[in-house]
Amino acid sequence: MASDAPLRPGTLFGGEYEITGPLARGGMGMVYTAHARTAGHDCALKVMHPALLSDERSRERFTREADLCARIDSAHVVKVYGSGIEPETDTPWIAMELVEGEDLEKLCRARGAFPPAEARELLTQLFDAIGAAHAVGVVHRDLKPQNVLVAAREGEPMRVKVLDFGISKVSRDEGTDTTAAVGSPLWMAPEQAHRGRLTPATDVFALALVAFRLFTGRLYWMSAASGKIAIKEILLELVMRPLPTASVRAKELGLDVRFPPGFDAWFDRAMDRDPAKRFHDARAAWTALEPVLDGRGSDEPVKPATPATPATDEGHATVSLGPARDSRTPPPPTRSVLRSPTPTPLPMLLEAARDERAQKRPRSMVVTAIAVLALLLVATVVVMTRHHG
């Protein structure tokens, strides 16, 4: 039977991996640094939490990660060396490439907005990883800065590695069934909140949010602007409230950000509430974004997307993201787009909506009371006038 105690340095796991120290702790398991005796190299060893061993769904999700990562042909997805079940404790494990670096969220908190050239390089690699996943029918479903490792050695360019494909799905396996509400509220797409069908376009929504984070140093959602994350408020913004363009939202956050021509149009399409109107996958989204970041974008709205189909198998800051617009050319009108809401929200969303209405109700009741009193006063005056007449 597996012990709840973490593995100690020097422990030989599975007869092959010598534990050298703890590395990270996640929802599914502990990650250790280890030395593979036979292969002769260091690695990251992910071991499933003992408390989850009896949960078949958790076991399937844990072991799926190794299989899916092996399918994806990208240098920017963490390489899997091997996986299996430790026989003595019946514990699933995955041996992965050991990447020395920080997750992107930690870097964003420490640095704020990235210089345009660095942001572009990070996005190039991130889109390559997710594009390769989509090419083999894999939807990540939990894409966020915390799942993006950035390794940067002195004198070398930054290297991106995407992690945690544990809750990913092969698109064709989804059929027409709805999915569980997976993902992180700050980065999920509307269809995830509604338990709708997930396609590669689901990851495109998250990629747009990550791009906004890199270029501005801030989260897109106004509900998170104070630093306190209220899940109900985030979900209300996600599925019910207007989703403005990147430029409009940056101004609302008190930022002075100059996006290159074409970025708002790209962002607008990538963030459409209707998955069928977004770019259908990461490669299509990057094909449209790359020229924008190179200063070759257009302020014309991006043409409507073809329907998304499943694949086969703080404070003020000034950021310039591209060539400045010619001052002689009038800027395009600013648009705040209210996209059509998606149907049938989760009970949490309904509860949040009721809460929002309840907050507004006292004001409406006061207005109604004043109106009634005014009518009564008018009626009294009329009656008294007639009486004296």
Q: How many CA atoms lie within 13 A of 356 on its CB side?
A: 14
Which tokens is 337 given?
């787009």
Residue 142 a catalytic site member = yes
Report how far residue 38's alpha carbon sits from residue 87's, in angstroms, rounded to the nearest whole number.
18
How many other β-carbons are positioned within 10 Å of the β-carbon of residue 235? 25
Query: Do strands 318-320 and 256-258 pair parallel, antiparallel, or not at all (unpaired)?
Result: parallel
Instruction: Quote the CA–CA distance of 189 and 180 in Å, as a whole number.
Output: 13
Q: How many distinct helices (H) and strands (E) make up the chain?
A: 10, 13
Torsion angle (degrees, nearest 10) of CA 185, 189, 193, 198 = -130
Residues 226, 364: Cα–Cα separation, whole Å: 27
CA 1 – CA 135 distance, rounded (Å): 40
Nearest CA to 49 out of 67, 32, 66 is that of 32
Active-site entry in 142, 164, 264, 272: 142
Relative to beta strand 41-48, strand 29-36 is: antiparallel
Q: Is the dihedral of CA 235, 237, 240, 243 positive or negative?
A: negative
Q: Which amino acid is at 99?
A: V
In sequence order, the 6+-apart residues with CB closer than 8 A to the CB of 329 are none
Residues 6 or more apart from 61 whose CB is under 8 A from it? 28, 166, 167
**Looking at the annotation, which residues are catalytic?**
142
